[in-house]
Chain A
Amino acid sequence: MEFFNLFGQSRELRQALELSRVRLYRMAYAWCHNAALADDLTQEALTKALRKSDQLRDPKARDAWLFSILANCFRDHFRRQRDMDDIDDLDLPDEATPESHSCTKEVVDQVRAAIARLPEGQRQVVTLVDLEGFSYVEVATILGVPIGTVMSRLCRARNALRALLVPQLERQNTAPGVALRRIK
């Protein structure tokens, strides 16, 4: 009986994992902005989750557990890459060219570019809170940092996004006539 129970549970978990794939991918993509890497990280996280499924005691905490595995995979990935500088110390330059700036006026691109410019820690916190709606406590568990850090990172991230995005969006709204002529 115990055995069948276990079996049922694991099948349920497998289905849940499969359903979480898109969400995990979205989060991984928001962190690294690289589709292939995001896919790899998602797969890695799911594999680990499946392998260590016995560590999950409380099914209600499954989401936080899954995303903390993803966060570990993400951190491990960058730990493996020794040739990189600590991303937390860098203010990442915007990779978009002036041309793409002038033509891709789409809000989505702007927001993604702004998020890509955030330091890694802030990016993780803001995406976990905004995309998945995790509570601050859960985010602190997922990332393994104190809750105060979560709050300050979130605060800085939102301020940075606001500083980047609000002027851009306002400029777009105020200059309709010029915008048509700007592309030569």
Chain B
Amino acid sequence: MNQEQKFSDEFLNAFVDDQLAPEEKGRAYLSINNDDALNRQVCELRKMRDLVQLAYKDLSGFTAPGPRAGRPGNTIAAGFILAFGIALGWLLHQPGPAPEATPVAALPAAGSVPPAVATHKPPAVPPAAKPLVVAGNEVKVLFHLSSDKPERIQEVLDEAEALLKFYRAAGQIARVQVITNGDGLNLLRTDKSPDPERVRAMLKTYDNLSFAACQNTIDRLKREQGVTAELLPGASVVDSGVAQIILRQQQGWIYIQV
């Protein structure tokens, strides 16, 4: 491809990286200016360099740690505070069991009034424990909407509502999430949603229901059509619809494509 060209790839790279001697550079400038193919090649090399720079501009996940050089003062202070906290906690904790133990022991013995208190106590424990037991059986369902056809949107709302109603009636703990991407995003857009009232009502009725919009889709709308998608109140945003779906499935959610 480059046989007929005057410059080797190495030379062009050196040109792009400003590694040539001044006279060489001047010569190269002239030749490149007069040659479209060379010009394009240089342009692409520059683009590669810019892309590499762009790729590592933002280092998410890097938390610059503070100076690691030792600051004994801080360490000692932290040690004192920790010791003080432990001591305080211990002191406050110590008298705790004693007063608590006495009423519990004393109340049943006291007579007619305390049993009422005593009977109140036991039920208080199971509700706390119960969700823990049921949590293992929690049903988690994921609806995926990628179309804006009215019947599809209707369907996803109907299905989700029916499911939530069923589980609520059955006393089963369930979580339902509707993930929208692509055209499906329209369900959650204030200007395009066919039935914003219903979405609002459902969100109000069922606190275990959530609607999520794909950030990628929102970005794409912005980029390609210049539209800033405004979402219905209560709708959440996930970075990537597909990634969210995969994540949820890995977490044991049931996936239903509408």
Please indicate the chain B residues that have their CB under 8 angstroms from the CB of A111 in the complex: 51-52, 54-55
Please indicate the chain A residues that have their CB under 8 angstroms from the CB of B59 in the complex: 22, 25-26, 29
Selected interface stretch from B62-70, B79-87, B95-103, B164-172: B62-70
C-alpha gap A161/B240 in the complex (Å): 26
Q: Contacts A18-B67, A130-B49, A135-B19: A112 and B182 contacting too (C-beta < 8 A)?
A: no
C-alpha gap A32/B224 in the complex (Å): 34
Q: Is A68 an interface residue (CB 8 A)?
A: no
Please indicate the chain A residues that have their CB under 8 angstroms from the CB of B214 in the complex: 183
Interface string of A148-177 (1 = CB under 8 A from B): 000110110011011001100000000010
Selected interface stretch from B108-116, B126-134, B227-235, B241-249: B241-249
Question: Does more than half of chain B's interface fall in helix, strand or loop, or is it mixed?
Answer: helix
Interface string of B170-211 (1 = CB under 8 A from A): 000000000001110000000000000000000000000000
Partner pick for B146 among A127, A158, A183, CB 8 A cutoff: A183
Interface string of B27-65 (1 = CB under 8 A from A): 000000000000000001100110111111011011010
C-alpha gap A103/B52 in the complex (Å): 21
CB-based nearest A residue for B223? A176
C-alpha gap A134/B26 in the complex (Å): 22
C-alpha gap A21/B66 in the complex (Å): 11
Q: Is the CB of A22 within 8 A of B54?
A: no
Partner pick for B69 among A14, A104, A108, A159, CB 8 A cutoff: A14
Partner pick for B48 among A18, A38, A99, A162, CB 8 A cutoff: A162
Q: Is A65 an interface residue (CB 8 A)?
A: no
Number of A-B contacts (CB under 8 A): 109
Please indicate the chain A residues that have their CB under 8 angstroms from the CB of B241 in the complex: 103, 183
Q: Is the CB of A154 within 8 A of B146?
A: no
Count, chain A residues at interface, CB 8 A: 46
Q: Is the CB of B17 within 8 A of A136?
A: yes
C-alpha gap A154/B19 in the complex (Å): 13
C-alpha gap A152/B12 in the complex (Å): 11
Q: Is A102 an interface residue (CB 8 A)?
A: yes
Q: Is the CB of B56 within 8 A of A29?
A: yes
Please indicate the chain A residues that have their CB under 8 angstroms from the CB of B242 in the complex: 99-100, 102-103, 183
Q: Contacts A30-B56, A154-B13, A181-B182: A99 and B246 contacting too (C-beta < 8 A)?
A: yes
C-alpha gap A166/B151 in the complex (Å): 40
C-alpha gap A165/B49 in the complex (Å): 12
Q: Is A35 an interface residue (CB 8 A)?
A: yes
Q: Is B220 an interface residue (CB 8 A)?
A: yes
Q: Is the CB of B52 within 8 A of A136?
A: no
Q: Is the CB of B44 within 8 A of A129?
A: no
Q: Is A184 an interface residue (CB 8 A)?
A: yes
C-alpha gap A166/B51 in the complex (Å): 11
CB-based nearest B residue for A159? B9
Closest 6 CB pairs of A and B: A111-B55, A103-B242, A130-B52, A151-B10, A155-B9, A176-B224
